[in-house]
């Protein structure tokens, strides 16, 4: 059984009794605001079919990992059609092995863990004269290394995380404290002063955990300052826009929404509270979500959606909803709003069923697909898992079966999994994003595995599904 480690030698059994896990989860919901009392029913226990489905998901993870090892070992990611490796930048940062590692631990895949560790410890270095995107490297690599350390206990993971954290810190050196988008790992040179709320506000779980594990508070304070600076620039209505200049603090695009570019900022306001316990984050989350529900929520034909609006006037500007927005039911649920979470998940599932697999974006008012790719994204599945975990309602596992079947039917290749360029004709594209292993298959597995596999009272998933464990505060 995996244990969680930190430098204070706190070793905690990660697996707890179902009852204890359930009680803690209920506790979180109640503290986080107005849970109306979820009760597990007998239907929530794992049936034989669920156990078989969990084993099938695990097999598909093995299949995808084998493809990566065979054709792309050492690269950032697999190109599943051309059967080659692909790097994000000039040199590989081992995105797939780092992102996938804690899923292997959770699934109990020991051979695969050894393979990933060998790749990571043999060749991962951050001492490279190379510019990287702060947000992606933080959620995938820093988050992945920290959870790998917490789940596996190997100190080398933490050493790598600390090394990376140090090299990312220069990104925060702007007049407002909000980070630049790009930073050079060796020189600390920064670029791209026009940033967005997601890339500014989705750093505190990882930087805060790094601080707590190392005792160096600089990481937490940099990410916290950035988050507060962003929040302070919300409009009088309580909304944020899509693009902001981190040097002047001036908004460059006033369109507000819950999709890509803003999404995980909202998620981290709540999760920062859940992981670090500071009620200030909960207040920030509540105020933000109140505005989001007031100005962005929309009901069409009996279905709940969230569209786009001007951050200053609240006026609706467009009516798009998509795969990225589908994270929101999970967050609403964690924040205690079960009924909105359930209603929105119903819409997300309807969107998935339009063509048998989820499109990137639809116009929920006009009813058409506006962006037809399926990028192997996890958000709809992630929300189904949160709803399942909290309510025990069978409908969420049934949704999961549909998700799993369609991904397997349409995206599987002989060498792994491929995204779809068009969900209408199911044409495959030559990429398997690391989040497919980090998130999509992890949440699918959690949906069918025994429900006490993760102690949700002690663990908060980062936006890349890396389970970060609460660490007792040292100096903050
Ligand atoms: C992931 O990298 C993260 O979930 C992020 O928050 C949004 N995009 C992808 C998955 O779709």
396-420 pLDDT, tens digit per residue, is 999 999 999 999 999 999 999 999 9
Please name which of 299, 320, 308, 307 lies closest in space to residue 367, comparing C-alpha atoms.
320
Could you tell me if residue 1 is inside a domain? no
Could you tell me if residue 475 is inside a domain? no
**What pLDDT score does 417 carry?**
99
Distance 459 CA to ligand 1 centre (A): 19
* Euclidean distance between CA atoms 271 and 415, whole angstroms: 36
Could you tell me if residue 4 is inside a domain? no
Classify residue 129 as exposed, middle or buried by CB count within 10 Å of its CB (0-12, 13-18, 19+).
Answer: exposed
Helix 143-152 with 204-214: angle, nearest 10 deg: 40
- Tell me whether residue 360 is one of the annotated catalytic residues: yes
Residue 177 · residue 229 · CB < 8 Å: yes
139-157 pLDDT, tens digit per residue, is 999 999 999 999 999 999 9
Instruction: Write out the E strands in 20-145.
Output: 77-79, 84-86, 131-133
**What pLDDT score does 476 carry?**
53
Ligand 1 proximity of 76 Cβ (cutoff 6 Å): no
**What pLDDT score does 45 carry?**
57
More confident call, 25 vs 429: 429
CB atoms under 10 Å from CB of 138, counted, come to 28
**What pLDDT score does 451 carry?**
86
- pTM of this structure: 0.92
- Tell me whether residue 409 is one of the annotated catalytic residues: no
Alpha helices in 129-255 (DSSP H): 134-136, 143-152, 155-168, 197-201, 204-214, 218-232
* Planar angle of CA 425, 404, 81, nearest 5 degrees: 50
Counting the structural domains of the chain, the total is 1
408-453 pLDDT, tens digit per residue, is 999 999 999 999 999 999 999 999 999 999 999 999 999 999 988 9
Question: For the CA atoms of 38, 283, 211, 461, what is the dihedral angle to 10 degrees?
Answer: 30
115-140 pLDDT, tens digit per residue, is 999 999 999 999 999 999 999 999 99
Share of the chain above pLDDT 70, in %: 90
Share of the chain above pLDDT 90, in %: 88
**What pLDDT score does 474 carry?**
61
Which phi and psi (to 5°) does residue 333 adopt?
Answer: -65, -50
Distance 435 CA to ligand 1 centre (A): 7
Could you tell me if residue 168 is inside a domain? yes
Which residues lie closer than 8 Å to 111 by C-beta, 6 or more apart? none
Is the model's pLDDT at 188 over the cut of 60? yes
Structural domain span for residue 411: 12-469
* Euclidean distance between CA atoms 52 and 438, whole angstroms: 21
- Tell me whether residue 464 is one of the annotated catalytic residues: no
Is the model's pLDDT at 11 over the cut of 60? no
Tell me what the mean pLDDT of segment 161-184 comes to: 98
Kindly report the average pLDDT of the chain as a whole number.
Answer: 92
SS3 182: strand
* Euclidean distance between CA atoms 473 and 471, whole angstroms: 6
Could you tell me if residue 3 is inside a domain? no
* Euclidean distance between CA atoms 150 and 216, whole angstroms: 17
CA atoms within 13 A of residue 52's CA, in its CB half-sphere = 4
Q: How confident is the model at residue 48 (pLDDT cuts 50, 70, 90)?
A: confident
Could you tell me if residue 6 is inside a domain? no
215-271 pLDDT, tens digit per residue, is 999 999 999 999 999 999 999 999 999 999 999 999 999 999 999 999 999 999 999
Which one of the listed residues 99, 112, 162, 263 is annotated catalytic?
A: 263
Cα first-last separation, the chain: 31
**What pLDDT score does 18 carry?**
30
Question: For the CA atoms of 306, 309, 313, 315, what is the dihedral angle to 10 degrees?
Answer: -80
Ligand 1 proximity of 463 Cβ (cutoff 6 Å): yes
* Planar angle of CA 439, 444, 448, nearest 5 degrees: 145
Handedness of CA 475, 26, 285, 388 (dihedral sign): positive
Domain with 445 in it: what CATH number? 1.50.10.10
Best mutation site among 99, 197, 324 for ligand 1, i.e. most ligand atoms within 8 A of its Cβ? 324
**What pLDDT score does 46 carry?**
66
Could you tell me if residue 7 is inside a domain? no
Helix 263-276 with 218-232: angle, nearest 10 deg: 130
- Tell me whether residue 136 is one of the annotated catalytic residues: yes
Is the model's pLDDT at 472 over the cut of 90? no
Tokens representing 247?
Answer: 């040097």
Which one of the listed residues 102, 131, 325, 360 is annotated catalytic?
A: 360
Is the model's pLDDT at 16 over the cut of 90? no
Chain centroid offset of residue 177 CA: 24
**What pLDDT score does 473 carry?**
76
Could you tell me if residue 5 is inside a domain? no
68-106 pLDDT, tens digit per residue, is 999 999 999 999 999 999 999 999 999 999 999 999 999
Is the model's pLDDT at 23 over the cut of 80? no
């Amino acid at each position: 059984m995996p244990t969680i480690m930190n430098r204070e030698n706190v070793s905690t059994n990660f697996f707890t009794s179902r009852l204890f896990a359930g009680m803690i989860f209920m506790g979180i919901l109640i503290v986080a605001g107005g849970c109306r009392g979820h009760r597990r029913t007998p239907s929530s226990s794992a049936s034989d079919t669920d156990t078989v489905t969990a084993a099938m998901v695990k097999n598909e993870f093995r299949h995808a990992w084998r493809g990566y090892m065979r054709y792309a070992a050492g690269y950032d990611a697999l190109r599943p059609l051309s059967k080659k490796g692909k790097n994000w930048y000039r040199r590989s940062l081992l995105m797939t092995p780092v992102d996938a590692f804690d899923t292997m631990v959770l699934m109990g895949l020991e051979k695969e863990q050894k393979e990933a560790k060998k790749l990571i410890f043999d060749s991962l270095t951050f001492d490279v004269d190379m510019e990287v995107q702060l947000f992606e490297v933080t959620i995938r690599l820093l988050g992945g290394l920290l959870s790998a350390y917490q789940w596996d206990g190997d100190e080398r993971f933490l050493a790598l995380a600390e090394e990376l954290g140090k090299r990312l810190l220069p990104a925060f050196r702007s007049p407002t404290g909000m980070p630049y988008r790009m930073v050079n790992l060796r020189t600390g040179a920064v670029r791209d002063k026009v940033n967005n709320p997601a890339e500014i506000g989705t750093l505190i779980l990882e930087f805060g955990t790094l601080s707590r594990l190392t005792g160096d508070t600089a990481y937490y304070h940099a990410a916290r300052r950035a988050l507060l600076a962003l929040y302070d620039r919300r409009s009088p209505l309580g909304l944020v826009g899509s693009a902001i200049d981190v040097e002047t603090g001036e908004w460059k695009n006033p369109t507000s929404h819950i999709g890509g570019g803003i999404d995980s900022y909202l998620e981290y306001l709540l999760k920062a509270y859940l992981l670090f316990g500071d009620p200030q984050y909960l207040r920030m989350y509540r105020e933000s979500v109140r505005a989001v529900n007031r100005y962005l929520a929309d009901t069409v034909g009996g279905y709940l959606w969230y569209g786009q609006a001007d951050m200053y006037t609240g006026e609706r500007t467009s009516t798009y909803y998509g795969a990225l927005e589908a994270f929101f039911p999970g967050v609403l649920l964690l924040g205690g709003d079960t009924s909105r979470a359930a209603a929105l998940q119903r819409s997300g599932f309807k969107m998935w069923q339009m063509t048998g697999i989820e499109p990137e974006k639809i116009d929920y008012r006009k009813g058409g697909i506006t962006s037809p790719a399926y990028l192997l994204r996890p958000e709809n599945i992630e929300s189904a898992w949160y709803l399942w975990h909290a309510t025990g309602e069978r409908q969420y596992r049934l949704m999961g079966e549909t998700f799993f079947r369609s991904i397997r039917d349409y995206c599987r290749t002989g060498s792994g999994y491929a995204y779809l360029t068009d969900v209408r004709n199911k044409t495959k594209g030559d990429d398997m994003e690391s989040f497919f292993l980090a998130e999509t298959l992890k949440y699918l597995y959690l949906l069918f595995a025994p429900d006490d596999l993760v102690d949700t009272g002690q663990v908060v998933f980062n936006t890349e599904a890396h389970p970060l464990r609460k660490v007792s505060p040292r100096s903050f």
